[in-house]
Amino acid sequence: MLAVPTAGWIVLVATLLVGGAMIAGAVALSRNESRKRRIQLPARLVTQQRLPAGNWMTVEFPGPDGAPRTTTVFSAFRRGLGATPMFSGSVWVDADDPSDVIVRPRARSFWPVFLTIFGSVLIAVGIIVAVVLWGMDAINNLGT
């Protein structure tokens, strides 16, 4: 039987647990968001405050009873191919919870994508560190 250092197994198991939990959380967040029935409603921009990462915007849109509703939402800056405008004159409202308002159809995809990437990188780094630790132990045991 090959003698394997405990440190390699500890690193591997810890990174698999933490990285796996991050990926599972990302899947749960993504599923939760995709289950929402969002409807597009016309909206009017009331105020806008610029921040380094995006804009805080107060928008007014028709509520379920037709009366105007006002809410404050954050819209992050996006650049590059496929980037949608920060505000295009409409909002997407959860039909079951009218207080859940976003300004882009996929505005809540940051955390699932971030957690998936970070969890995958963590698992990859954990595997590399474990293999290095096992290799160092194998080299140390060559002379004995």
Which pLDDT score is estimated for 79? 76
Q: What does the DSSP 8-state code read for residue 83?
A: P
Q: Would you say residue 57 has pLDDT above 80?
A: yes
- Pull the structure tokens for residue 46: 């009331």
Burial class (CB in 10 A: 0-12, 13-18, 19+), 37: exposed
Indicate the residue type of 99: S
Per the listing, tokens 């560190």 go with 129
Q: What are the pLDDT digits (tens) for 25-50?
A: 999 999 998 888 889 999 999 999 99
Q: Which residues lie closer than 8 Å to 111 by C-beta, 6 or more apart?
A: 26, 29
Q: Look up the pTM and report it.
A: 0.71
51-72: average pLDDT: 89
Q: What are the pLDDT digits (tens) for 87-140?
A: 888 899 988 888 888 888 777 788 899 999 999 999 999 999 999 988 888 888
Q: What does the DSSP 8-state code read for residue 84?
A: P
State the pairing for strand pair 68-76/38-42: unpaired
